[in-house]
Structure 1
């Protein structure tokens, strides 16, 4: 991962492709929909932006992760949901419209929450005064990498909706393949250095993934939201944009070890999401999907 091409070109390209694919699936109505069922959106955003960082924090403490690995786990918790959550939510009979809305809103919201969580994590795990605050230019780069491709994708969707809908799935598949290749390449390049770190953080990542999905599913049910919305929220907060977290760790913080938790999580979350879909699908099929409120 010390390769300049990997860090400075391929990772930003992968994020751009992923965010472009997200933009192709979005319309202005996805943002307006927040007013139609604010309770479900509030619950999903609260769990993702407030509760998940605390869960990651306590897991990092419990597993006694090194400062770099702990910060990497916190970056992962601060990253917005991935567009792939829509696919898994659809397979599990979840409320896909809610997924799209949560992804859209949280992708914008993370421009504020991610730097805050990142700096608080650096201050706590490394100690005040023992880290160099990330430069503003890098933060602005992250904002641009998130916003510009999404805006371009939304513009294409507005101007040429049929082409956008046709391109959405191929772009999403390509983005997943690019992400997998980058993760494998990164692990190979640093294979001699990260074996111990992978062992140390693997269980923590798995626990965080399971906790995220369990909280995401049962909290909405306790709050009397319909099961399809519970499924949507569980998938949304269980599937993260790991590429963004990896990019921030490498390109903003310059910390290879901090990129390991999101890399590992990005590999395992698809398997746990598939298991989750199998477990909750019978419940969703028991009744017709209820419109979000």
Structure 2
């Protein structure tokens, strides 16, 4: 695909979103994980190992076509989205933990996204798809898409914290609009096959989102994490950066159809995360909430 959406729009869209993430990060967000290494390790195991395994099982159970199956695995490997911080704040999660997890996940994704996607391509063997693998050129592309804008945003915050604070809200709003445009553009590009794709992907996207949110909350909680930490993990693991998955599917693997699972998930995850957050917080006693 050589349309402006692919050649200019998608990289620019992701750059805006990741730049916005960088504006909210400091070096301390990376070093803070030393204070809660066990919780961070639990969340990362859920994100990096459990989610791809769950997605793989769901793909087999739902019998997705090879190209959509790879798209679903690509989505599962993508890191948490910046909106997870907002949702964690709304439902009284540990936002500082969210920020740290987002920072670390964005770095780890440089390795995990190619590995998981390459495994999926090798297993499902979709027609016409290339291979991400760990080829230097592909890794550099992912690195540039994900980390360079983050680093620039962090540099801007370091040089002018006041400017970064002023820009936080506009960039967040812009990021949401950009994400919407990316999803709409992907849907329009696949409008001829959209009906069948939505029918194939809608149910598995809902199932995967609910599994992600539940695993992110209940696994840390069962392993001794505090309520606020578990909420943070749930939002971080359940709210994916679907723009990364869409960008890699279209710009790197040259497949708009492969981007459909991420586009559908990008729409569904927000109301599902809101409902899930409401359900897990409404049962908490007001005294407990106040104490936190």
Q: TM-score, normalised by structure 1?
A: 0.94
1:253 deviates by 1.0
Residues 189 and 256 in structure 2, CA contact (< 8 A), matched pair in contact too: no
Which residue of 2 is the match for residue 259 of structure 1?
A: 259
Which residue of 1 is the match for residue 233 of structure 2?
A: 233
What is the distance in 2 between the residues matched to 1:105 and 1:235?
15
Residues 206 and 265 in structure 1, CA contact (< 8 A), matched pair in contact too: yes
Structure 1's 107 and 285: CA in aligned 2 closer, same or farther, altered over 3 A? farther
Matched, 1:101 2:100: yes
Partner SS state of residue 43, structure 1: helix
Residues 226 and 290 in structure 1, CA contact (< 8 A), matched pair in contact too: no
Deviation digits for residues 46-78 of structure 1 (CA, Å, limit 9, x no counterpart): 100000000000000000000110100000010
Deviation digits for residues 207-246 of structure 1 (CA, Å, limit 9, x no counterpart): 0000000111111111111010010000000000101000
What is the distance in 2 between the residues matched to 1:38 and 1:121?
30
Which residue of 2 is the match for residue 147 of structure 1?
A: 147
Which residue of 2 is the match for residue 168 of structure 1?
A: 168
Partner SS state of residue 287, structure 1: helix
1:265 deviates by 0.1
1:189 deviates by 2.9
What is the distance in 2 between the residues matched to 1:189 and 1:24?
32
Residues 80 and 241 in structure 2, CA contact (< 8 A), matched pair in contact too: yes
Partner SS state of residue 80, structure 2: coil
Which residue of 2 is the match for residue 82 of structure 1?
A: 81
What is the distance in 2 between the residues matched to 1:286 and 1:15?
41
Task: Note the 1:21-170 alignment, pairs <5 A.
Answer: 21-126=20-125, 132-134=130-132, 136-170=136-170
1:115 deviates by 0.6
What is the distance in 1 between the residues matched to 2:8 and 2:138?
14
How many residue pairs align between the two structures? 289
Tell me how large the CA RMSD over aligned residues is. Answer: 1.8
Structure 1's 155 and 130: CA in aligned 2 closer, same or farther, altered over 3 A? closer
Q: TM-score, normalised by structure 2?
A: 0.94
Residues 217 and 231 in structure 2, CA contact (< 8 A), matched pair in contact too: yes
Structure 1's 284 and 154: CA in aligned 2 closer, same or farther, altered over 3 A? farther
**5+ residue gaps in structure 1?**
none
Which residue of 2 is the match for residue 287 of structure 1?
A: 288
Residues 227 and 284 in structure 1, CA contact (< 8 A), matched pair in contact too: no
1:173 deviates by 1.2
Deviation digits for residues 149-191 of structure 1 (CA, Å, limit 9, x no counterpart): 1111111111111110121121011111111122112212321
**5+ residue gaps in structure 2?**
none
